[in-house]
Amino acid sequence: MLQLTREQPPGYGGVERVAHEVADAIAVHGLTPTSQVYFFFGSSDPDPLPIHYGRIKMRAWALGRLPLPLPCRALIRLLLSQDALIAHLPCPTVLGLAILCKLLRPQRRVSIYWHSFLEVNPTAVGVLVGLYQQVAQALMRLFDQVITTSPILQNELVYSASLPDSRVSVLPCCVPKSLEREAKAALADAKPAPCPETLRLITISRLASYKRIDWLLDAIEAANVSLVPAGRAIRLDVVGDGPDRDHLVSRVERSPLLKGLVEFHGRAEEKRKQQLLAAADLLMLMAESCHEAFGIVQLEAMAYGVPAIALQHPRSGAYWVSHTPSQRWDGHRGSLVPLLFALAKQPEPHLNLLHQETLHRYDSEFQRSIWMTRLRQLLEP
C-alpha cells in the first residue's frame, strides 16, 4: 500500500497523523506487502512518533504551500507502481497525481482520503480554492473508493459529489497505541474529584486566527465576572504555539479576570502535554472553520476520560466527535458562557457524568481495536 501526502508524516497536522497511523498499522501488522508514504515537504524536526514504514520524498518546487512536482525517480515509481494508493486531500497536486496514477494504470486501485472541506472566501485566492474544490468533488467518481473521517463529511460528500453511499467509507482518526495504553493505565487509578473552586480547561492547538482562542478567552472572562467574587474561577492551560501567541498573551495580561488564570505552555513535549490533559476537566476546541474537520486532540482527551467541547460548524465533524448527551451544549458560541458558568458553579456531579459518557463514547467508537477492524475492511479487495 502506497500513500501520497503533501507533508511528511507523522508531523503535527491531522492529515499527516492519519497517514502515519495507516502506514504504521499496515507495516506492523503486515496487512499488505509494502507500506510507503510519498510526500513533498519534509521537516528537520525529530519525529514525534516511531516510524515503521518507508518514507519517500519527491522533488518539488514550492509555490507557497502548493508543491509543483519536478522529474525524479520517486515520482516515476509512484506513477508506474501497481500497488494500491491512498491519496490524501486537500491538495491540488496530490489530486492531480492520483488522477494520473489512475489514467496510467486503469486497473490500479486508487482511493481518495477526503480529510476536510475548504472555506471559500470572497477573494482572488478564495475563487481558486472554490474552483479546486468543485473540480475535486466532480472527479471523485473516477476513484475506486473515497474515505473520510466522520458521518458528517460522508453525508456532505454523498450530496455534493453525487456519490452513492456505498462509495464513501468512514475511517475516523485514532490516537497512537502508546497514548491509548498510557491513558488506560492512568484511568486505572482513581480520577481526583473536580476541584470545587476551579474549573480547569485546556486547549491544544496551533495559535492561529481560525482556532479562535480569543473567543475562548472572552467566554472565560465573561464567566469569571460572576465566579471570582464568589470564590470560584475558570483556569485555562494553552498548549501550542503560532503567530497569534504574542497577541493572546497581551490580551491575558490586560485582563484582571484572566491574568494568573491562563498559562501558555508553548509547544510542550508529548509527556508534559499528556500530564496537562489528564489533569484537565474539559478540552476546548474553538475552531470556527470547516478546515478543523476532526480534532485528533479530541480523541486524546477522550481516551483520558476528559470531555471535549467543540463548536458546531457546517461540513465539520468536530462537534460530532466528542458530543455526548449530557453536555447541554448546542455547539454555538453564544451558549458557551452559560455552559462554562454552570459547570464551574457546581462541577462535581455534572463533570463525573460527562467523564463516564466520554469514556463510553471513546470505547464504543474510537478505540484502536475498532479502528483496526475498520482499516482491515477498507484494505480488502
Let me know whether 99 and 188 are in one domain: no
Let me know whether 237 and 347 are in one domain: yes
Instruction: Please indicate, yes or no, if residue 381 is contained in any of the structural domains.
Output: no
CATH number, domain with residue 157: 3.40.50.2000
Q: Which of 171, 198, 220 is the last residue of a domain?
A: 171
Higher-confidence position of 196 and 351:
351
Q: Which of 110, 138, 171 is the last residue of a domain?
A: 171
269-308: pLDDT as tens digits: 888 888 899 899 999 999 888 888 888 999 999 999 999 9
Q: Which of 171, 198, 215 is the last residue of a domain?
A: 171
Q: Give the strand order in the sheet containing 282-285.
A: 262-266, 233-239, 198-204, 282-285, 308-310
Tally of domains within the chain:
2
Residue 13 scores a pLDDT above 90: no
Let me know whether 15 and 121 are in one domain: yes
229-243: pLDDT as tens digits: 988 999 999 999 999
Let me know whether 155 and 253 are in one domain: no
Q: Which domain holds residue 281?
A: 178-366
| pTM across the whole model | 0.91
Let me know whether 114 and 240 are in one domain: no
Burial class (CB in 10 A: 0-12, 13-18, 19+), 190: exposed
Under the banding of pLDDT at 50, 70 and 90, the label for residue 40 is very high
Instruction: Please indicate, yes or no, if residue 259 is contained in any of the structural domains.
Output: yes
Let me know whether 216 and 108 are in one domain: no
Return the pLDDT at 147: 97
Rounded Cα gap, residues 290 and 333, in angstroms: 15
DSSP letters for 152-166 = HHHHHHHHHTT--GG
Let me know whether 274 and 356 are in one domain: yes
Return the pLDDT at 281: 93
Let me know whether 336 and 207 are in one domain: yes
Residue 348 scores a pLDDT above 80: no
Let me know whether 166 and 192 are in one domain: no
Let me know whether 64 and 113 are in one domain: yes
